[in-house]
Chains A and B, each alone.
Chain A
């Protein structure tokens, strides 16, 4: 036989095969755009009403003047832009062109701005604090980022971590307790707060260790263990809150980490206050997201962790210790979530309170999924949820006609729409919640 056999066919243009088009995206974008046009474009107060956006803060390097726009015209223009983008998307489908992520991003920004213009229309006393909105986004996203990083670390190694909520709460509790104890004995609040920050991951790691013990050693269903641990942590912290902390009020005071504005950078308008005028915990968050993203996808450790989460037996056959990797990652993940728990107490300057994490651990889980189990994605998803939360606060301040109960639902609505609409087909690590038995 003289012929050489060649490989599978390579990419060739599909010249003569008709592929059916999917009109789903343009239709959804168009319908939502039209609704926004009616609700926020046409319904915005007309007749010379204006909306004012404030960008600068008092001690910025230079001042960006406040922007005042005619409310109705702007809202209509913004929603028309959104509808036009839906048209662009339809054009892309018709001509089989791929359109990048810029389109949904610009579309989202246009709609959010339209809503803001509508909300701020005709109010002379209040203006929309855009920078404040963004600062709130980063702050409110912080515990979600830590939580979803914790989830990512565990799930990438094949352990489902439902216990994020408990780990956050445990971290919040221990941070407050240690901060209180240290500051009352040394007399320095900020020193105490830092020691509390160091203690927080220990509490989370302990919860993580318990999770890994039951999951890896005793093969208990990981979701069940996680839920049980959450209940346990709520019980324990509430108990100590009611006993230890009540009897010794100095152990649970409102102590806060000092703000650490970065010279010069922190005075750049908008960006400065949002990114560079934060406390230690937020700076740690930046570092951890970057380091973990590189480590998980570019390092030897990360490759091995991912192999354990996808196909533990294959990992075992090349000499990787599956269960050891899982235990380590679960404890490390717990520590990361515990550190995030410090947000609720020492990083916010608040005393500990019963169940003060209020379900943020579960939202973090959604952020992990939306972020496709990557630190980078977790950050983006957490920021999205943080933004929804911050928007709610902002609306509360300016006072809108939307009932506050509906506003409170905003972050959760964003969660559901994001997970259902944007995530589409994602696949969790294949070996999740399956104990590795030899």
Chain B
């Protein structure tokens, strides 16, 4: 199907998120949409999908104007979408989520045909090499698996136009490759694909054409042959360094000491098995591993939101296991959770208040029982400036921010007080190349100030770029701790469970 957007303008109040955007996607084409955080990519796609009404402009499908009242109409017209913020019902199973809205029924009573839905999930996940259990409950899945479910859901409808809004933000490199291969197959079969991503490698691999938008306007087209540096500067409007510059670490005393830590979940399944390691002041330990191998439990156990079954952890010589979360944070822990919308932000609160969420009862933001709004606003303005959070006002709700900008709010909050230990899961999830450069720089700075840093990332590139030491996790155990110049094949084997000696 040929898709054309003509002069789409979308305003939120006085803020123009999309300014007269034209975009044509030819049948069978993979059209990459690039742009900074807050450029207006998701907004444009939500207009196309019928979630937002455009203030001006029209959508044409095969030359016919389409007037969508809601996503139901868009789907009926053959448009499918993978949403940046997953649109999954948490207490439903994978199969139920995939069937929702186009359920098959059977029997005289027309009851749900769950077997058909399961079979569909199985079939699609096999095609992709996604190991997804159709009966798993979505809220129990790590974000990487939820991402896969969201993709399966969109693919299960045989859309003619497929919108992928940052589909690979939390996929492993292998999964990303599988997805890109499928995207190619689909486009060969005539499906039009709009791909939004901040990973330029993916753009180069599959895109037929590239449109770049900045601050709501189309600023240019590019060929997929363009280099990553060219694409990056077109997006951000300045040169971006794609590598991380850092000096060798000067590790000090042991700051975090994890001793024989184990976690068994409510179902009695061991998630973390006798994990021991140290992180010294002034060094970055990065944890590599396929998501779901205990990383979430490890970070949450250190924070205190996950009950520890046995073992303990010390921060600067003081126990942090078994302490209330607040005390742990006050002891100098900065924590960037893996799921920002769920655990990182209160979407309905203002950006200013989100920025002081953990310090709201401390001076200078509060005196006695009262908050001090003027100080809070001043601080917020500083953070917004420093982290380049794109927003109309610090009084806007966090939920109205673009995905990448929400992530920046969490980072700004956690990096803005004196820390002894920083734990960050996928710190640059959903950030544009310019912001990644900035955040990496800030993390290195933090390290050089003598903070111990623990990074968890599904991006092997990020792990290798930041780490002073790499710990590889598999099935709840640390299979080995290796230097950052370890070759990728070895790391890959270790991520699949091989012990260090076997892998080398």
Residues of A within 8 A of B (CB): 1-12, 14, 16-20, 294, 298-300, 303-304, 306-307, 310-311, 313-321, 427, 430, 438
Size bin of chain B's contact surface:
35 or more
Known: A3-B495, A8-B293, A304-B100. A19 touches B268 (CB 8 A): yes
Name the residue of chain B whose CB is nearest to the CB of A302. Answer: B112
Judge whether A317 and B71 touch: CB under 8 Å: yes
Judge whether A3 and B310 touch: CB under 8 Å: no
CA distance A159 to B273 in the complex (A): 43
Known: A3-B493, A17-B262. A319 touches B271 (CB 8 A): no
Judge whether A1 and B72 touch: CB under 8 Å: no
With contacts defined as CB atoms under 8 Å apart, how many contacts are there between chain A and chain B in the complex?
140
Judge whether A300 and B103 touch: CB under 8 Å: yes
Judge whether B496 and A20 touch: CB under 8 Å: no
Residue from B97, B172, B267, B270 within 8 A of A5 (CB atoms): B172
Known: A9-B269, A299-B112, A317-B83. A3 touches B498 (CB 8 A): yes
What residues of B have a CB within 8 angstroms of the CB of A321 in the complex? 70, 72
CB distance from B115 to the nearest CB of A (A): 13
Contact mask for chain B residues 465-496; partner A; CB cutoff 8 A; 1 contact, 0 none: 00000000001100000000000110011011
Contact mask for chain B residues 283-312; partner A; CB cutoff 8 A; 1 contact, 0 none: 000000011111000000000000001100
Judge whether B268 and A9 touch: CB under 8 Å: no
Judge whether A303 and B90 touch: CB under 8 Å: no
CB distance from A11 to the nearest CB of B (A): 5
List 11 contacting pairs A-B, 8 Å CB cutoff, sorted by A. Answer: A1-B492, A5-B496, A6-B131, A8-B290, A9-B294, A17-B273, A20-B309, A303-B99, A317-B81, A430-B91, A438-B51
Judge whether A317 and B49 touch: CB under 8 Å: yes
Known: A9-B271, A317-B71, A320-B72. A19 touches B264 (CB 8 A): yes
Majority SS of interface residues in chain A?
A: loop
What residues of B have a CB within 8 angstroms of the CB of A317 in the complex? 49, 51, 71, 81, 83, 87
Contact mask for chain B residues 174-193; partner A; CB cutoff 8 A; 1 contact, 0 none: 10000000000000000000
Any A CB within 8 A of the CB of B88: yes
Residue from A14, A294, A310 within 8 A of B111 (CB atoms): A294
Known: A14-B268, A304-B100, A314-B89. A319 touches B76 (CB 8 A): yes
Any A CB within 8 A of the CB of B349: no
CA distance A69 to B112 in the complex (A): 52
What residues of A have a CB within 8 angstroms of the CB of B83 in the complex? 317
Judge whether B293 and A310 touch: CB under 8 Å: no
CA distance A92 to B105 in the complex (A): 42
CB distance from B431 to the nearest CB of A (A): 23
CB distance from A422 to the nearest CB of B (A): 18
Residue from B73, B87, B274, B475 within 8 A of A9 (CB atoms): B475
Closest 7 CB pairs of A and B: A319-B72, A318-B101, A8-B292, A3-B496, A314-B87, A1-B492, A7-B131
CA distance A8 to B489 in the complex (A): 21
CA distance A318 to B97 in the complex (A): 10
Judge whether A300 and B110 touch: CB under 8 Å: yes
CB distance from B21 to the nearest CB of A (A): 21
Judge whether A310 and B309 touch: CB under 8 Å: no
Any A CB within 8 A of the CB of B96: yes
Residues 140-172 of B contacting A (Cβ, < 8 Å): 142, 145, 172
What residues of A have a CB within 8 angstroms of the CB of B105 in the complex? 299-300
What residues of B have a CB within 8 angstroms of the CB of A14 in the complex? 264, 268-270
Q: Which of B49, B88, B89, B91 has the most CB of A within 10 A?
A: B89
Residue from B101, B172, B493, B498 within 8 A of A320 (CB atoms): B101
What residues of A have a CB within 8 angstroms of the CB of B273 in the complex? 16-17
Judge whether B174 and A5 touch: CB under 8 Å: yes
Residue from B89, B264, B268, B498 within 8 A of A307 (CB atoms): B89
CA distance A307 to B493 in the complex (A): 41
What residues of A have a CB within 8 angstroms of the CB of B72 in the complex? 318-321
Name the residue of chain B whose CB is nearest to the CB of A3. Answer: B496
CA distance A311 to B341 in the complex (A): 14
Judge whether B264 and A17 touch: CB under 8 Å: yes
Known: A9-B476, A303-B103, A316-B51. A18 touches B70 (CB 8 A): no
Any A CB within 8 A of the CB of B75: yes
What residues of B have a CB within 8 angstroms of the CB of A318 in the complex? 71-72, 75, 87, 100-102
Q: Which of A8, A294, A299, A300 has the most CB of B within 10 A?
A: A8
Judge whether A307 and B92 touch: CB under 8 Å: yes
* Supplied contacts A5-B496, A314-B87, A319-B71, 14 more A-B pairs, CB within 8 Å: A2-B489, A5-B172, A6-B290, A12-B269, A14-B264, A19-B264, A299-B105, A300-B105, A304-B101, A315-B101, A318-B72, A320-B101, A427-B91, A438-B51
What residues of A have a CB within 8 angstroms of the CB of B92 in the complex? 303, 306-307, 310
CB distance from A24 to the nearest CB of B (A): 15
CB distance from A261 to the nearest CB of B (A): 30
What residues of B have a CB within 8 angstroms of the CB of A298 in the complex? 111-112
